Amino acid sequence: MANEQRHEAIPRLIVFDLDFTLWDCGGTWCDCLSPPFRVRQQRIEDRTGRHVRLYDDVHAILKHCDDHEISIALASRTGEPDWARQLLGHLDITHRFAFAEIYPSSKLRHFAALQKASGHAYQEMLFFDDEMRNIDEVSGLGVTSIFVRDGMTSELFHESLDRHAQRRERSQD
C-alpha cells in the first residue's frame, strides 16, 4: 500500500514557465529580444548579441522527467510565441515537452488547456514559475505551484517533488 501511495504522489504532469524559470534571455523576457536568432560559437544570440541560455541544471531536470516517465509541459505568457518556439528549437528541447501553451493569456487559460489535453487533474500537476502572481493564481486550482527565484536548480526541483508528494499523501488521508 505504501508503494501504491508513493506512486500516486508522483506528479503526472510537470509544467514550466520559460523566462527566468527554464532560461535566461540576457536578463530580459524573450519577447523583448531582437530576432533573428542565431547560433554563434555554440551560443544562441539575438540580433543585438543578447545570449539566451538554459539554466545550468535544466538538462538534468528534463532527463529526470524522461527517466521517470513524467510528462512535462510549458505554460508561458508571452507576446511573441513564435520567438519562444524558435528559441526552444535552437536549444533543441522542443521534443521534450508533451504539451506547450505559449501565448499572451492568463495562466488559468494555459492550465485549463493543459488539463483538457493531458487528462490529468490539477492536483496531479506540479508547476514552476518566477512570478508570484502566477503561483498564486495557479495554486488556487489545486496545482502544487513553486516559486522560482533565480532559475531552475536541481535542488529546487527535487525539493518540490518531495513537497508535491507530501501534499498528495496528506490529501489521501
Question: Tens digit of pLDDT for each residue in 75-134?
Answer: 999 999 999 999 999 999 999 999 999 999 999 999 999 999 999 999 999 999 999 999
- Is 35 part of any domain? no
Read off the CATH number of the domain in which 124 is found: 3.40.50.1000
Instruction: Provide the number of structural domains found in the chain.
Output: 1
- Is 44 part of any domain? no
Alpha-carbon radius of gyration of the chain = 16
The answer to whether the bond into 36 is cis (omega within 30° of 0) is yes
Q: Please name the residues in contact with 24: beta carbons below 8 A apart, sequence gap of 6 or more.
A: 52, 53, 55, 151
Length of the chain: 173
- Is 60 part of any domain? yes
**Where in the sequence is the domain holding 85, given as residue range(s)?**
2-24+53-172
Catalytic residue among 19, 46, 129, 130: 19
Distance, in Å, from the CA atom of 95 to the CA atom of 100, rounded to the nearest integer, reads: 10
Please give the angle made by the CA atoms of 101, 131 and 8, to the nearest 5 degrees: 65
17 is annotated as an active-site residue? yes
67 is annotated as an active-site residue? no
- Is 39 part of any domain? no
- Is 165 part of any domain? yes
- Is 29 part of any domain? no
- Is 128 part of any domain? yes
Question: Tens digit of pLDDT for each residue in 60-75?
Answer: 999 999 999 999 999 9
- Is 30 part of any domain? no
Question: Tens digit of pLDDT for each residue in 124-160?
Answer: 999 999 999 999 999 999 999 999 999 999 999 999 9
Q: Three cell numbers at 33?
A: 529580444
